[in-house]
A and B are shown apart, each in its own frame.
Chain A
Amino acid sequence: MSWAQAILLARGASRGWGGICSTALTGAPFSQVPPQAPRGLRCSAAAHNPDSSLVPHPPEPPRRPVKALAVHEELFRPALDGARNKANFVRAVQNFTEYNVHKRGHVDFIYLALRKMREYGVERDLSVYNLLLDIFPKEVFRPRNIFHSIFLHYPRQQECGIAVLEQMENHGVMPNKETEFLLLQIFGRKSYPMLKLVRMKLWFTRFKNINPFPVPRDLPQDPVDLASLALRHMEPDLSARVTTYQMPLLKDSPNAMDPTETHIVGIQSPEQQSALACHDPARPIFVEGPFSLWLRDKCVYYHILRADLLPPEEREVEEIPEEWNLYYPMQLDLAYGRSSWDDYEFNIDEVEEGPVFAICVAGAHDQATLAKWIQGLQETNPALARIPVVFRLSGSSGELLPSSSELEEPPPPPPEGQEEEEDSQQRQQQGQS
């Protein structure tokens, strides 16, 4: 802002500034010095008494290190009720437009508002973005002749418009017709913000539905619901059943000092049940975990119940008897001479791992909680009672453990130590094999 504008502000709008400052500065500490020249002028004009040189000053309160405030940051001070929500944000923006008819410093204000959106929780709200775009004066920045359109007309404002659209894009907010109309009014059809809007509309619509495993935008807050959503997300078998083995204790109960009751939710499909029923009781099965699963921005930790792979000599090939289907043969051993043009298989042995029998999400990652899960599983899988279960729990590093040596529960080591352990184990394996 030029000094002339500053003086105009100080003189002309001083009553308005005083109004804002008095309402917004109720909670502000006294020692914060307004950094701007016009407000300095105003403050000095108000507080400069000729008596101040004669009367001794009271001792000044100790100054805390002052962070330099941005230009209009006092508008975003928390209001009387202190809540940072959409209403207060909208109120702050409207305060700017009311008390500043000529909208001086609107570019800086919009940048500041964009930074503050995350605190107020409105970064995904399209109406708030439209409100911010509404701050721009209309029809002023539109190019009117060819010279305007050759040179970037009002570059700071165009950059600011692009910054608003860019934050929308970062948070995945799709612009609508109101945004388009606002940009048209403000910048005109051939401007860069308009071009960016066209690009956003094009690429957003192209990439909107490319996720084959979509996760809803509003994740449930309840841990049990989140756990069942996570389990359904992981398990491809649609006939799997989600069972809640334990509900979490309410936190406001008086004896919440020993929170042993966390939620335990598990999932198992009928195929896994039958596989567990045919599992050989001589071989142990392992509870492994915790592994991390990310749903948008929430991380859920899950444990799996799995068995090791059978060595090749013990694997049985299931033979389907010929009478199983009388209409057509289930196995054909025709030796057609097919060459490599029909071979769509990759020339590599895929990683084979043991079968997974069940997955669960629990609030705590210790053996006691998982033991409760196993007990709950025993109700639907009676065969589990005879099979030894070994707990292979690691620290919550999210790495999958090697399927090698240790059979007792290792104490949760720090991640670096764990890597070295695994490296040395692998080297031992390689040395032995």
Chain B
Amino acid sequence: MALVRKLLNGTYILRKCPKPRVASFPFLGTRFADYCSSSFQKPVAAPGKASSQRKTKGNLEEHHQREVALEITSPEDKPEISFDKAIKEEMKDHFRRLKDDIVKYWIGPEGRPLHEVLMEQAKVVWQFRSKEDLDKWTVTSDKVIGGRSEVFLKMGKNNQSALLYGTLSSEAPQDGESGRSGYCAMVSKIPRGPFEMKRSYDWSQFNTLYLRVRGDGRPWMVNIREDTDIIQKKDQMYSYFMFTRGGPYWQEVKIPFSKFFFSNQGRIRDAQYQLLLDKISSIGFTLADKVDGPFFLEIDFIGVFTDPAHTEEFAYENSPELNPRLFK
């Protein structure tokens, strides 16, 4: 099976996922596998969106310069670019965050008292009310492998929502390797603590994902990735489809976590298990419905809540035909 997969991966890179009502598997090639982990990412810089990597010296200087510009200082007052100063600022910033972290730990998880966290039934995880909220997301498209799709992310109307828009083009790149192409993705960055430690979200008391979106009728795919510290879990993710209605009305999409199916290296696997919610690292939206043309998706906020009417634990049972080992 490994041999076949190696043979197949050579030719069948980047197929994708369905039009509505048609089931298909996400086939992403090995080259695309790293799109979620921030270390190998090549984010598509959007016009008007702040740059994604905050922790470089140059950007710190840009921040300083932007703040200087807003204060309307005199033109002779140039900001000093000093490497040592920037490093010191950054160290101080990290230590401050470490101190906050320790202090917050004494109050409760994430700085909120324990009784509030335990009894919470609905939580807003990502909202889009300012440009800093956009910095938590990265957009990718198949330009990374040589395709022609473009995708941009910007704040929407009145700074009340985020607008992800662009053009999808399923023209395959002529690199002799990819048969198909055409995807765009928006992925959240992995939450970081002090000293850039990887943190994860703990949604174990919730059971449904809630999105308030306004789309254009295209089917999207929601991917959730768990904690990726273990190298074998690098390409694993749990996905489900989000169908937008289109139209001028806001749409509430509620996807229970029991509906997410497991896939590894872009292929849906025979052995399925439910999504465990205690170490979620990122969520992403992908559009790859093989239809060329412009698209947009407006997102108001993303939250998780407990749906008391939903008692299902996992929607897909393992089938004895596909997985006879599990049934011995």
Interface residues of A (CB under 8 A from B): 152, 155, 158-159, 162, 166, 169-172, 192, 195, 198-199, 202-215, 217, 230, 233-236, 291-297, 299, 302, 304, 306, 339-348, 350-351, 353, 356, 359, 397-404, 416, 419-420, 423, 426, 429-430
Contacts and interface: CB of A to CB of B under 8 A. Distances in A.
B253 to A, nearest CB: 9
B295 A294 contact: yes
B38 interface: no
Interface of B: 3-4, 7-8, 12, 15, 18-25, 47-48, 116, 119-124, 127, 152, 154-161, 163, 165, 180, 210, 212, 216-219, 241, 243, 245-250, 268, 270, 290-291, 293-296, 298, 300-301, 303, 305-306, 316, 319, 321-322
A260 B135 CA distance: 47
Nearest to B47: A419
Contacts of B291: 294, 296-297
A339 B217 CA distance: 39
Nearest to A423: B48
Given A234-B247, A403-B157, 10 more contacts: A152-B3, A213-B20, A294-B293, A302-B247, A346-B122, A346-B301, A347-B122, A350-B300, A356-B249, A419-B154
B186 to A, nearest CB: 16
A236 B249 contact: yes
Contacts of A211: 20-21, 219, 241, 243
Nearest to A200: B23
A348 B127 contact: yes
B241 A210 contact: yes
B157 A202 contact: no
B126 to A, nearest CB: 10
Contacts, number: 195
Given A340-B116, A403-B158, A404-B158, A234 B245 contact: yes
A400 B298 contact: yes
Contacts of A214: 20-21
Contacts of A162: 8
B272 to A, nearest CB: 10
A402 B298 CA distance: 13
B23 A235 contact: no
B124 A155 contact: no
Nearest to B152: A419
Contacts of A207: 18, 22-24, 241
A20 B123 CA distance: 69
A342 B20 CA distance: 36
Closest 9 A-B residue pairs measured CB to CB?
Answer: A234-B247, A172-B22, A207-B23, A211-B20, A293-B246, A294-B217, A204-B23, A341-B119, A351-B160
28 contacts: A152-B3, A152-B4, A158-B4, A170-B180, A198-B321, A198-B322, A202-B322, A207-B24, A211-B21, A213-B20, A213-B245, A215-B217, A233-B247, A292-B216, A292-B296, A293-B217, A294-B291, A294-B293, A340-B119, A341-B119, A359-B247, A359-B248, A399-B163, A400-B163, A400-B298, A403-B157, A423-B47, A423-B48
